[in-house]
Amino acid sequence: KKLQDKVAIITGAGSGIGQATALLFAKEGAKVTVSDINEEHGNEVVEMIKKEGGEALFVKADSANIEDHKRLVKETVEKFGGLHIAVNNAGIGGESNKVGDMSTEGWEKVISINLSGVFYGMKYQIPEMLKSGKGSIINISSILGQAGFGGSAGYVAAKHGVVGLTKTAAWDYGKDNLRVNAIGPGFIYTGLVSEETMGKEALNMLEGKHAFGRLGQPEEIANMCLFLASDDASFVTGSYYAVDGGYLAV
Ligand code: NAD
């Protein structure tokens, strides 16, 4: 097993990419703190892990709340005795409007959850990883951390910000055995992106922007998270990995 006895925090683990990553990490031997703002979904994922014989804990936390991040790390360390891996994944799509029409509230909301939430997470995760002597942080950005997308200024700015934050943290802690990387998923079939939320036509248009002519599955992102979390990625830090079915290959 690739993550035997490692302790991992995954935010936004109640559904989609976070859920798939939590299930895979547990299967690979990690003790997983499943964190989400949605208590019901988070507890369901914990039950799924326990049913398969894994170890998991649910901690309710709002990514936009710095005190929640502090408590999330504290409860994880109290329960599992340390921290080695964090996947900062919680995120929302946010307000869809052109820049000139975007509300300041909409802007601030997506920045606080999708960008500040990653900073707050790392702020408390890093000291515990330094105590462990080794760590891997994986920040979930997006293809929209590398390219623009009409109507999504706040989201795009936040995801670009996550890439810069990741590169900088990699430099800050490279000599401390702490690796920090970002993943840029293409569009993935999850709660954020489905026929119900966006309609058939828009979904087909998005599918056509990927060389494969389809969107990704959450498990395909979880596989990259596993690689970056494991010792297989021992010389990998400060990188942005697109897992995007060819979206950026234009
Ligand atoms: P999802 O909606 O299925 O899962 C997101 C989870 O985050 C949910 O369980 C939700 O309850 C939780 N969450 C929302 N706001 C939160 C908050 N304030 N605090 C804590 N948890 C919160 O979506 P997903 O696609 O799995 O998204 C996961 C990450 O992947 C996000 O950062 C998203 O931006 C990114 N991403 C998604 C896609 C895609 O196409 N789905 C593409 C690129 C990047």
Q: How far is the CA of 190 from the centre of ligand 1 (A)?
A: 8
Q: Is residue 250 part of a domain?
A: no
Please answer whether residues 22 and 12 qualify as being in contact, where contact means their C-beta atoms are separated by less than 8 angstroms.
Answer: no
Q: Is residue 90 part of a domain?
A: yes
Nearest alpha-carbon partner for 44 in 15, 68, 69: 15
Q: Is residue 105 part of a domain?
A: yes
**Structure confidence by residue, pLDDT tens digits, 53-112:** 999 999 999 999 999 999 999 999 999 999 999 999 999 999 999 999 999 999 999 999
Q: Calculate the dihedral angle through the C-alpha atoms of 46, 20, 166, 192, rounding to the nearest 10 degrees.
A: -100
Q: Is residue 167 part of a domain?
A: yes
pTM score of the predicted model: 0.98
Q: Is residue 1 part of a domain?
A: no
**Structure confidence by residue, pLDDT tens digits, 142-161:** 999 999 999 999 999 999 99
Q: How far is the CA of 167 from the centre of ligand 1 (A)?
A: 22
- Ligand 1 atom showing the smallest separation from residue 113 Cα: 18
Is 155 in the active site?
Answer: yes
- Ligand 1 atom showing the smallest separation from residue 216 Cα: 40
Q: How far is the CA of 36 from the centre of ligand 1 (A)?
A: 10
Q: Is residue 177 part of a domain?
A: yes
Q: Cα(89)–Cα(68) distance, rounded to whole angstroms?
A: 15
- Residue range 130-140: average pLDDT? 98
Q: Is residue 2 part of a domain?
A: no
Whether 191 has a pLDDT exceeding 90, the answer reads: no
Q: Is residue 72 part of a domain?
A: yes
Give residue 35's domain range: 7-243
- Ligand 1 atom showing the smallest separation from residue 12 Cα: 7
Three-state SS string over the chain comes to: CCCCCCEEEEECCCCHHHHHHHHHHHHCCCEEEEEECCHHHHHHHHHHHHHCCCEEEEEECCCCCHHHHHHHHHHHHHHHCCCCEEEECCCCCCCCECHHHCCHHHHHHHHHHHHHHHHHHHHHHHHHHHHHCCEEEEEECCHHHCCCCCCEHHHHHHHHHHHHHHHHHHHHHHHHCEEEEEEEECCECCCCCCHHHHCHHHHHHHHCCCCCCCCECHHHHHHHHHHHHCHHHCCCCCCEEEECCCCCCC
- Total domains in the fold of the chain: 1
Q: How far is the CA of 192 from the centre of ligand 1 (A)?
A: 7
Q: How far is the CA of 175 from the centre of ligand 1 (A)?
A: 31
- β-sheet with 55-60: strand ranges across: 55-60, 31-36, 7-11, 85-88, 135-140, 178-185, 240-243
> Where does ligand 1 bind, in terms of residues with CB under 6 Å?
11-12, 14-18, 36-38, 41, 61-64, 89-92, 113, 140, 142, 185, 187-188, 190-193
> Structure tokens of 41?
């979904």
Percentage of residues of the chain with pLDDT beyond 70? 100
Report the CATH number at residue 153.
3.40.50.720
pLDDT value, residue 140: 99
Q: How confident is the model at residue 192 (pLDDT cuts 50, 70, 90)?
A: confident
- Ligand 1 atom showing the smallest separation from residue 190 Cα: 3
Residue nearest to atom 24 of ligand 1 (CA): 16
From 155, 173, 241, 247, active-site residue: 155
Please answer whether residues 42 and 75 qualify as being in contact, where contact means their C-beta atoms are separated by less than 8 angstroms.
Answer: no
